[in-house]
Every structure is written in C-alpha cells, then in structure tokens.
A and B are shown apart, each in its own frame.
Chain A
Amino acid sequence: KNEVEQSPQNLTAQEGEFITINCSYSVGISALHWLQQHPGGGIVSLFMLSSGKKKHGRLIATINIQEKHSSLHITASHPRDSAVYICAVIPNTGNQFYFGTGTSLTVIP
C-alpha cells in the first residue's frame, strides 16, 4: 500500500486550460511538497505546505489536513509546464519523503 496516492497518473491538456492534480495521503504529516521533474531528470521544489494555500505565479497549491488531501492547480497552462508533478509528504514520525507515483502532464500548443 502506498501512503501517497496521486491522480490522475497521466494528463493531457490544451494550452490555456486550467489543470488540477490531486494528492491523497494516509499518514499524519509535518509537511507536503509538490515537486516538478522535467524530462532529463532534475527535480524542482514548487511548494512546501503544512496548511492552507500557497501561490506562485500561475501555480496554486492547497492542502486540507483534516481530509489528508492536497491539490496543485496550474492556471493558463503552457507547453513548458509539461513535466511530471510529484507529491511528497514528510510524516510526523520522521524527516524523509514518502513520494507519490507522479502525474505526467503534457500541454499541447
């Protein structure tokens, strides 16, 4: 059983569409991260959340601690947003990531 589940696994969108990626987890957490990985490997940390909502440019991340759920939204999507988006949680019991399986996003011009 995976402690972190993401949906959808794959997502194709037209440029300009509003995109939502969901993450559900089953453990108590200290924080949740949204990570972006482009083809070729490097991982970029987009957000670290422990409550509420954060916004950076066209990206918005929300978390509901009671429901153990987080969403990543991308407004006005662009082909350069094409990447794998990974949800990762840090459990209350440690300082290591539990990773979700990732959502592969393709934005078509």
Chain B
Amino acid sequence: DTEVTQTPKHLVMGMTNKKSLKCEQHMGHRAMYWYKQKAKKPPELMFVYSYEKLSINESVPSRFSPECPNSSLLNLHLHALQPEDSALYLCASSQAGTGVYEQYFGPGTRLTVT
C-alpha cells in the first residue's frame, strides 16, 4: 500500500467555523508533512512531524493547529481562518531519520474560506 489518503476532498468553511483536515498512511512512514499550495504556485511547507513529534513549524499562524495522534494519522485543525487561507492542502509522508527519502503525497483537500 503506497497510498496517502486525505479527507475531505473539498471543504467550504466560514471564517468563524472550526474544521479539521485528515491524512492517513499505512506505509509505516514515521515522517508526515502538511503543505499549502496556492493556484499556480509550488507547495509551501507548513509542518513536519517526525516520530509523532512536531519537528518543523514554518512560522504558520496559530489558526492552523496540527496534530499527530499516532504514526498513521495526521490532522490539521482549522479555526478562524481568513479568505486568503483558501488553497489546496497537501499531506505527504516519508521514512524518517537522517537519510534522504522519497515523499508520498496525498490527493489534497481543496479549502475555500468564505
């Protein structure tokens, strides 16, 4: 199984809503990533979890709150978002450690903030 799944595929939320994005993999990967991608731009790294611990936070606003409840799951909790947060949110996973490893991407959640 080389698949990373993400739910939901699409999400529309108001600026006062609280919602969560979910990501799951069963490849035994211990590194998981959240990226944000605006139209016609490359992905931007938001967070990295390594062995279920947050290892990188790329100065992401606190209205985005990541969570890694176990080695297969990665959540991104959203609260009080702004319209400019509308984007494609991509999850990826890879082996962890000091080597160089391929990242496997999920299909993304397309988020619209109204």
Binding site for B on A (CB under 8 A): 30-31, 33, 35, 40-45, 48, 50, 86, 88, 90, 95-97, 99-102
User: Are B103 and A97 in contact (CB-based, < 8 A)?
Assistant: yes
Tell me which residues across on chain B come within 8 A of A86, comparing CB atoms.
Answer: 42
User: Are B104 and A101 in contact (CB-based, < 8 A)?
Assistant: no
User: Are A45 and B45 in contact (CB-based, < 8 A)?
Assistant: no
Give the residue name and chain of the B residue nearest to A38 (CB). Answer: B107
Q: Can you show 9 pairs from A to B with CB atoms below 8 A apart?
A: A31-B100, A42-B106, A45-B104, A45-B105, A48-B102, A50-B100, A96-B45, A100-B42, A101-B41
Interface assignment of B28: CB less than 8 Å from any CB of chain A: no
Question: A78 to nearest B CB, angstroms?
Answer: 22
Interface assignment of B83: CB less than 8 Å from any CB of chain A: no
- Name the contact of A99 in the complex, choosing from B40, B42, B88 (C-beta under 8 A): B42
Question: B112 to nearest A CB, angstroms?
Answer: 13
Interface assignment of B90: CB less than 8 Å from any CB of chain A: yes
Interface assignment of B15: CB less than 8 Å from any CB of chain A: no
Query: Given known contacts A86-B42, A99-B43, A102-B42, is B100 in contact with A41 (CB within 8 Å)?
Result: no
Provide the bound-state CA to CA distance between A40 and B45, in Å.
Answer: 19
Question: A54 to nearest B CB, angstroms?
Answer: 12
Residues of B in contact, count (CB < 8 Å):
21
Give the residue name and chain of the B residue nearest to A100 (CB). Answer: B42
User: Are B102 and A43 in contact (CB-based, < 8 A)?
Assistant: no
A-B pairs, top 5 by smallest CB distance, nearest first, are A99-B42, A41-B108, A42-B107, A43-B105, A30-B100
Interface assignment of B53: CB less than 8 Å from any CB of chain A: no
- Name the contact of A90 in the complex, choosing from B42, B100, B104, B110 (C-beta under 8 A): B100
Interface assignment of B12: CB less than 8 Å from any CB of chain A: no
User: Are A96 and B56 in contact (CB-based, < 8 A)?
Assistant: yes
Query: Given known contacts A96-B48, A96-B56, is B103 in contact with A45 (CB within 8 Å)?
Result: yes
User: Are B48 and A41 in contact (CB-based, < 8 A)?
Assistant: no
Tell me which residues across on chain A come within 8 A of B103, comparing CB atoms.
Answer: 33, 45, 97
User: Are B110 and A41 in contact (CB-based, < 8 A)?
Assistant: yes
Tell me which residues across on chain A come within 8 A of B102, comparing CB atoms.
Answer: 33, 45, 48
